[in-house]
Structure 1
Amino acid sequence: MRSAHLERAHELPPAAILFRIKRYDFHEELTRGLVVVQAHPVRAAWLLARSPVTTLEIGEPLMLSSVWASALAIGALRLRTLLGGRRSTIVSYALENADPFERPLRARPRLRRGINGVAARFVWQQTDRVVFGTDAARVTYRKALPEPARDFVSAVIPALPAPCPCTAPEGLDAHRVVFLGAFVPRKGLPNILAAWPLVTAVLPQARLTLIGKGALENQARQAAALDPTIDLVVDPPRSEIHRQLRRARVLALPSQPTPTWREQVGLPIVEGLAHGCAIVTTTETGLATWLEEHGHDLVLPGCTEQQLADAVVHALQAPRPPADDLPPIDGRLAADAWLFAGA
Structure 2
Amino acid sequence: MMATLQVVPELRNYHVDLLTDDVAALLYFDEKYDLEQRTSRDERIRQVSVMGAVVEAFSSDCDTLDIFEPLWVRNLHKWAVIAFAWKIGHVMRRSRVVSYCMENNSISALVAGRGRNRRLVTWVFTRVLGLAMSIVYTRLAFASSGAAATYQRLRLSPRVRSQVFTSLPSPDPLAVTSGDRSGVVFVGRLEERKGIESLMRAWSVVEEQLPDARLDIIGDGPMAPEVRAWATTERRAFHSSMAHSLVKSLLLERSVLVLPSIRSGRWREQIGLPILEGLSAGCTIVASDETGLAEWLADQGHRVYDSSSSTGLVGALLAALNQPLQVREVVASLPSVPTRKTAVEWLRRA
Q: Please provide the CA RMSD for this pair.
A: 2.5
In structure 1, the gaps of 5 or more residues are none
> Which residue pairs with 1:202 in the alignment?
209
Query: Relative to structure 2, which stretch is displaced further, 273-282 or 16-25?
Result: 16-25
TM-score when scaled to structure 1? 0.89
Cα separation, 2, equivalents of 1:334 and 1:30:
27
The one-letter code matched in structure 2 to 1:269 is: I
Cα separation, 2, equivalents of 1:288 and 1:252:
13
TM-score when scaled to structure 2? 0.87
The one-letter code matched in structure 1 to 2:319 is: H
* Identity level (%): 31
CA deviation string 1:37-64 (max 9, x = no partner): 2222222111222221211111112221
**Aligned partner of residue 38 in structure 2, secondary structure:** helix
The one-letter code matched in structure 2 to 1:316 is: L
Cα separation, 2, equivalents of 1:29 and 1:168:
28
Alpha-carbon distance, 1:339 to partner: 0.6
8 Å Cα contact 1:256/1:284 also seen in 2: yes
Mapping 1:67-78, distance limit 5 Å: 67-78=76-87
Cα separation, 1, equivalents of 2:78 and 2:321:
44
> Which residue pairs with 2:314 in the alignment?
309
> Which residue pairs with 2:4 in the alignment?
none
Cα separation, 2, equivalents of 1:128 and 1:206:
50
CA deviation string 1:52-83 (max 9, x = no partner): 1211111112221112212111111122124x
8 Å Cα contact 1:134/1:156 also seen in 2: yes
In structure 2, the gaps of 5 or more residues are 1-9
Alpha-carbon distance, 1:273 to partner: 0.6
Q: 2:167 aligns with which of 159, 175, 178?
A: 159
Cα separation, 1, equivalents of 2:275 and 2:22:
27
Alpha-carbon distance, 1:8 to partner: 2.6
The one-letter code matched in structure 2 to 1:320 is: L
CA gap 1:255/1:108 in 2 versus in 1, 3 angstroms: same
- The answer to whether residue 84 in structure 2 is matched with residue 79 in structure 1 is no
CA gap 1:116/1:142 in 2 versus in 1, 3 angstroms: closer
Query: Relative to structure 2, which stretch is displaced further, 320-329 or 184-193?
Result: 320-329
Query: Relative to structure 2, which stretch is displaced further, 312-321 or 262-271?
Result: 312-321
Mapping 1:118-267, distance limit 5 Å: 118=128, 121-143=131-153, 145-148=154-157, 151-166=159-174, 171-172=178-179, 174-224=181-231, 226-267=232-273
> Which residue pairs with 2:42 in the alignment?
33
> Which residue pairs with 1:296 in the alignment?
302
Alpha-carbon distance, 1:172 to partner: 4.7
Alpha-carbon distance, 1:174 to partner: 2.7
Cα separation, 2, equivalents of 1:3 and 1:300:
30
- The answer to whether residue 349 in structure 2 is matched with residue 341 in structure 1 is yes
8 Å Cα contact 1:172/1:249 also seen in 2: no
CA gap 1:46/1:244 in 2 versus in 1, 3 angstroms: same
CA gap 1:7/1:201 in 2 versus in 1, 3 angstroms: farther
- The answer to whether residue 121 in structure 2 is matched with residue 92 in structure 1 is no
Alpha-carbon distance, 1:291 to partner: 0.6
CA gap 1:167/1:139 in 2 versus in 1, 3 angstroms: closer
CA deviation string 1:132-177 (max 9, x = no partner): 111111111112x02226x2211111101110235699x4553221
CA gap 1:152/1:113 in 2 versus in 1, 3 angstroms: closer
Alpha-carbon distance, 1:297 to partner: 0.5
8 Å Cα contact 1:159/1:332 also seen in 2: yes
State how many pairs are aligned: 334
